[in-house]
Amino acid sequence: MAPNILLITADDMDALTPGAFGGPADVTPNLDALAASGRIFRRSHVPIAVCQPSRSAIMTGLWPHRNGAEGFEPIHDGVPLLTQLLAAHGYVTGILGKVEHIQPVERFGWDLKRGMVELGMGRDPEAYGRAAAEFFALAGDREAPWFLMANAHDPHRPFHGSLAEMEKWTVEERETYPDPSAEYGPDHVPPRFLPGGMVRAPFQLTDVLPSVLEAAGVSADSGGGVSFLPAARGEVPVPHPLYWEHIGNAAIRDGDWKAVREAGRPWELYDLAADRSELHDLASQHPEIVDRLAADWQRWADRVGVISWDLIKEQGA
């Protein structure tokens, strides 16, 4: 029987906000309960520190350089989408929030979609609950498995009661969502906890699509990602490097070694096992590792179509 799949996203949320990742124990209790009954991927990463391109990686299994959405551009025509692959195997698909943040919207073929305004400016949990219930009823009527992508507009918004919030939305718009259930200040530091079920192997958002397809029993080209389901089952995952590039900045992680290069500057090297905050550059001590990782990164960049940042700047001048 095909499983139902719920994907929850929240961009701009600090990694230490959820209690399941070491944050305060009473901020995200429902997410923490989910984590406690499953697996936590402690070393998962976005492919780019921008929301829309990262969503494009989730929905295509491709780095933004390959799917066309390096910034706020639409995904290229002809690139298979996760919703299309699932719908072809009988899935009902829905999205709550951030509808316009994966383009082109019409290509995804959502059976149900609810945008920010319909969800109390993306800040009304009860509106999310009603929309989710409507979606589940739709899938039940069709007797079909479902895939629901629930995207939180919080914390990617102005703080409650701030001047920015007053300037962003009208009084009428602010009245469409409730006040926060709790507010936290710098003096509120409740206990932190880390439950079990921790997966420490590195993964990236490009690995979501092959993982979902494997869970759904769908055979398709995974693009460039690797399924994390074996790791979720407690098996030893197959090691694979992680790559990044954005406006000339570059990085590659292979095991515990990570090479980082700011645009126009030489490569730096960090041993994440001993220095996860990347404070001690070891490039001068291990030039052979720097050369190996830099060459690997360049092969990846050539394969996915990374354009030289210097060339981009010249063309834009």
Q: Which domains are present in the chain?
A: 5-232 (3.40.720.10), 242-316 (3.30.1120.10)
pLDDT tens digits, one per residue of 18-66: 888 888 888 888 888 888 888 889 888 999 888 899 999 999 999 999 9
Average pLDDT over residues 193-201: 67
pLDDT for 187: 56
pLDDT for 271: 98
Give the start-end residues of each E strand in the chain.
5-10, 40-41, 44-45, 92-96, 112-114, 146-152, 198-199, 203-204, 242-246, 249-254, 257-261, 268-271
Strands 44-45 and 203-204: parallel
pLDDT for 17: 83
pLDDT tens digits, one per residue of 272-281: 999 989 999 9
Contacts of residue 63, Cβ cutoff 8 Å, sequence gap at least 6: 47, 57, 206, 224, 243, 304
pLDDT tens digits, one per residue of 213-262: 999 999 877 677 899 998 888 888 888 999 999 999 999 999 999 999 99
Task: Tell me: pLDDT of 90 over 90.
Answer: yes
